[in-house]
Amino acid sequence: ADLLEHVIAIRDATLKELSPKGRPPILVKISPDLTDEELADIVTTCMRLSVDGIVISNTTIQRPHGLLEQQVAMQEGGLSGPPLKNISTSIIQKVYRMTNGRLVIVGVGGVSSAEDAYDKIRAGASLIELYTALAYEGPALIRKIKIGLSELLQRDGFQSVQEAIGKDVFVSTSQDGMRN
């Protein structure tokens, strides 16, 4: 929390000196390897400090069951791509629920198709980030995902991505007790 408060203070002080029209957003990128308590602490701090968003997630040190190559499973370092997909999506749902959908969530981890992006959006992500699939499939992947995502939204009766955000997650509201 202290480091994040310091970063925000420096940004705000710099903006006062420069007088720009807008302020650069501050997003906190988290590990998928956090305990529920650590996750709750980070989310609470982000909300308290009015951070602009949270990026879920970085690479994992976990080795999910079923990795095809035992050699890969034994390597050290962060794992990205498809093995991270379900872990990341689950955390997106948790954070969306914890924040009642009030924090921008960037969904990262295992996105290689429109379906993957749509799963993260319905889990609560309002933005999607790709890396591993983009490295392997090239920039044409972005157009392919956009077209597929448009078809999925239309299939499910949504007019925009905004309407689909968090639709697979139930969150509390003070007005009607449930949302989505």
Nearest to 101, CA basis, from 125, 127, 118: 125
Q: Length of the chain in residues, anyone? A: 180
- Which letter does DSSP use for residue 67 in this model? -
Tokens in use for 2? 């202290």
DSSP string, 80-127: -SGGGHHHHHHHHHHHHHHTTT-SEEEEESS--SHHHHHHHHHHT-SE
- Helix (H) / strand (E) element for 63: namely none
Tokens in use for 96? 């969306």
Distance CA 104, CA 27 (A): 9
To the question of domain 28-61+78-164 being in CATH 3.20.20.70, the answer is yes
Phi (first) and psi of residue 55, to 5 degrees? -100, 120
Provide the sign of the torsion angle of the four alpha carbons 152, 107, 90, 172, taken in this order.
negative
Domain boundaries, the chain: 28-61+78-164
- Which letter does DSSP use for residue 141 in this model? H
Distance CA 155, CA 88 (A): 25
User: What's the pLDDT at 17?
Assistant: 72
User: What's the pLDDT at 58?
Assistant: 74
Q: Is 93 exposed, middle or buried (0-12, 13-18, 19+ CB in 10 A)?
A: buried
In whole angstroms, how far apart are CA 156 and each of 47, 153, 167, 179?
31, 5, 11, 18
Tens-binned pLDDT, residue by residue, of the chain (180 aa): 789 999 988 888 887 776 656 678 899 999 888 999 999 999 999 999 999 999 998 766 665 555 555 555 555 656 566 678 889 999 999 999 999 999 999 999 989 999 999 999 999 999 999 988 999 999 999 999 999 999 999 999 999 999 999 999 976 555 444 444
Asked if 95 and 69 count as a contact pair (C-beta separation under 8 A), the reply is no
